[in-house]
Amino acid sequence: MPVADVYVHYLNKVERKDRTEAELIKVITWLTGFDSKTLKSHLRKQTTFKEFFKAAKINPHAKLITGSICGVNIVEIEDPLMKKIRYMDKLVDELAKGRPVEKILRS
């Protein structure tokens, strides 16, 4: 599945909760190491999740992302690609729930 399709879903989700695309981009770039221009390039190219995360430099603090997403505890996910996808899902969920961006970006 292209990242762009999921991005649209993420954007709709956060905008419904009065959050901005700029905030969404900020949390995704924190996780992936992509700047805004590179992220938008991946979206235009219809990059798959596998390609997207292969090119990403996952933030070393991502391991601090805990809890569950879709009923699955993140620390129990063994597949590296799925874990990265769920990291991103969790960050977007926290953004949509109104958590301050400074707290979402673990350090």
Nearest to 63 by CA among 46, 42, 87, 47: 87
Q: What is the pLDDT of residue 107?
A: 79
87 and 74 in contact (C-beta within 8 Å)? yes
Domain covering 3-101 assigned CATH 1.10.8.290 in the classification: yes
pTM: 0.93
pLDDT tens, 31-66? 999 999 999 999 999 999 999 999 999 999 999 999
Burial of 40 (0-12, 13-18, 19+ CB in 10 A): middle
Position 28 pLDDT exceeds 90: yes
SS3 34: coil
